[in-house]
Amino acid sequence: MRDTIAGALTVAIKAQDKRRIPTLRLIMAAIKDRDILNRGTGKEPATSDEISAILAKMIKQREESAKLYEEGNRLELAEQERAEIGIIRDFMPKQLSDAEIRQAAMQIIEEIGASGLRDMGKSMNVLRERYAGQMDFSKASSIVKEILQ
């Protein structure tokens, strides 16, 4: 995943794509920050799952910023944030639909034998482990809660 992003940055620089270059540089900087943090604790450089988590966090930050910009009537800045979201999403694994999230949640609940809300944390941990970067876990949380009730 790291190589894919670095290659895309090289292509964007050669094409002088003024929209993609800063966003790709931000992604690379976030990955490098994680690598430095891991190095300090004796871990390996960021894995693809960690990179997916970084990208998901970046998307969430931009969605919140875009919402605030819209509320503040700064539509050009909101549009810029949404364009960055599109660029970041290009590198994310395919996101699961609500129906796919529901099916995955039901499968995991059945697998671990969850029977009530007290098992919600255990169910969410397994979902995060298996589907890192592939689903919106706030949606998944509400679906798991609904199933377990």
Domains of the chain (ranges, CATH numbers): 2-89 (1.10.1510.10), 98-148 (1.10.10.410)
pLDDT tens digits along 110-145: 888 888 888 888 888 888 888 877 787 888 888 888
Q: What is the mean pLDDT of the chain?
A: 88
Structure tokens at 113: 């034998």
Q: What is d(CA 122, CA 117) in angstroms, rounded to the nearest whole number?
A: 10
Query: Which pLDDT belongs to residue 83?
Result: 94
pLDDT tens digits along 39-51: 888 888 888 878 8
Structure tokens at 63: 């969605």
Where does the pLDDT of residue 97 fall: very low under 50, low under 70, confident under 90, or very high at 90 and above? confident
Where does the pLDDT of residue 86 fall: very low under 50, low under 70, confident under 90, or very high at 90 and above? very high
